[in-house]
Amino acid sequence: MSAPVARVVPIWAHRRYRGSMHPTLKTHVDGQLVELPGTIAAVRKSLPAAERDEFTAEVETTPADQLVGVLARWALRGTAAGEEDEAVFRRLERGDHSGAVPADDEAAGAA
């Protein structure tokens, strides 16, 4: 699997659920807002049992400053995000930069 596009800018949302707060990650996949599990335990629980040990091993050895990215990548498994990112990469490789905004162009990115 190729490295994911930096698609998830984590937006921590807390939704009320039976009187408690459950943090989630939010992103867009196929133009739709998607809420992903936002804790290590919730991501682990969302994975197939066969992948949980691999997830735990990676999370336990990930530097803290990279942890949100690792959680997002694992949480995005099972969504169409991977295919969507690959399509963007193919388009950019062909030289089609439509819709792309340079990372340092704050004015264009805010539009």
pLDDT in tens, 31-61: 888 888 889 999 999 999 999 999 999 999 9
For range 62-89, the mean pLDDT: 88
Asked if residue 5 has pLDDT above 90, the reply is no
Alpha-carbon distance of 72 to 25, in angstroms, equals: 7
What's the pTM value of the predicted model, to 2 decimals? 0.65
- How confident is the model at residue 108, as a pLDDT? 57
What does the pLDDT average to over 73-101?
86
Spatial distance between the Cα atoms of 78 and 46, rounded to a whole number of angstroms: 10
CA 67 from chain centre, in angstroms, equals 12
pLDDT score of 109: 53
**Token representation of residue 86:** 């690959």
**Which helix (DSSP H) or strand (DSSP E) does residue 14 occupy?**
strand 13-17
